[in-house]
A and B are shown apart, each in its own frame.
Chain A
Amino acid sequence: METIIREGSPKTPYVRLDSEKGLIEIKGRSIPENSVEFYKPLIDWLDKYGSSPLDNTNVNVQLEYFNTSSSKCILDIFKKLELLYKKGSKIHINWYYEEDDEDMFEAGEDYQSIINIPFTMIELEE
């Protein structure tokens, strides 16, 4: 299955969805007005990946900013991963946040309160 790589733009994040390595990465900023349009192909990719996932899937989320419109779509990604996790796949989610960015730390906690996969919270020094 194809690897999806999207370079970052002023409103959308860098994305790498790599089925060979079992790697999912979202980095940068996610503030599009129409986030569903941006995330739909990524959710579709996860659906396909879910039919034959690797034993271990590593997920790195390192966002600088995201808008509330994206927050729903990011949750949809986590929900797809949660399904795999429940089926016995090993899913490792790393949630990165900058040292003094309480908002991004709390956003990670928000997702953890909804999704039943343990997150590793990783603080980045400025």
Chain B
Amino acid sequence: MGFDIEKWYTQKMQGEVLLRYMGEISSEKITEALGEIELSLNLKNEKNKVRKKVYNVFVESIQNLFHHVDIPPATAKVQNIPRFGVIILARDRSFYRISTGNFVQVDRVQVLRDRIDQVNSLSDEELRTVYRDILGNEGPSLKGGGGLGILDIVRKTGNKLEYAMYPHDDHFVFFAMDVYIS
């Protein structure tokens, strides 16, 4: 059976969807998606401050997928491509919501869970301190993100990350995350 990605994808379509994408997260696709949301955000006549925040958090979210997704399992009913991911930007009542989804190997789940729980547990002041420590003390990681991505998202939005791990098979789970920007 495995995880029903289509059902999950449909459920994430609440609100006014500004962008939805399921497929390969390539550098070109990222450029395309950014161009698209920029146009729609401008059209909405959103305040500069909100527009920039949504754009910034969208960049981090989609590039997080680019740098970290695992190849999807052969048993998943999706394209078998190395960088498979899902991203949705929607306006949901007074919030903008960025939902992402990707398959993760079971042996990486605990590390990911611990990392997010740790970031979610930090106060605003602690977020700032940890962010500055990592920025100042560690070299760039091989994947380029420097480990700052989710810290930056939580810091900019001021909201905790909401996530779920849906079992797929013995080797993979589907990792879904929602980021809210008020």
Q: Out of A10, A35, A106, name the residue touching B35 (CB < 8 Å).
A: A10
Residues of A within 8 A of B82 (CB): none
Contact size range, A: 20 to 34
B interface residues, tally (CB under 8 Å): 32
Known: A65-B55, A67-B63, A100-B49. Is A11-B145 also a contact (CB below 8 A)? no
Q: Out of B52, B55, B131, name the residue touching A110 (CB < 8 Å).
A: B131
How many cross-chain pairs have Cβ atoms below 8 Å apart between A and B?
74
Residues of B within 8 A of A11 (CB): 31, 34
In this assembly, does B56 line the interface, its C-beta being within 8 Å of a C-beta of chain A? yes
Residues of A within 8 A of B47 (CB): 100
In this assembly, does A18 line the interface, its C-beta being within 8 Å of a C-beta of chain B? no
In this assembly, does B152 line the interface, its C-beta being within 8 Å of a C-beta of chain A? yes
Q: Are A72 and B31 in contact (CB under 8 A)?
A: no
**What is the CA–CA distance of A52 and B139 in the complex, to the nearest angstrom?**
27
Known: A69-B63, A103-B56, A126-B48. Is A33-B144 also a contact (CB below 8 A)? yes
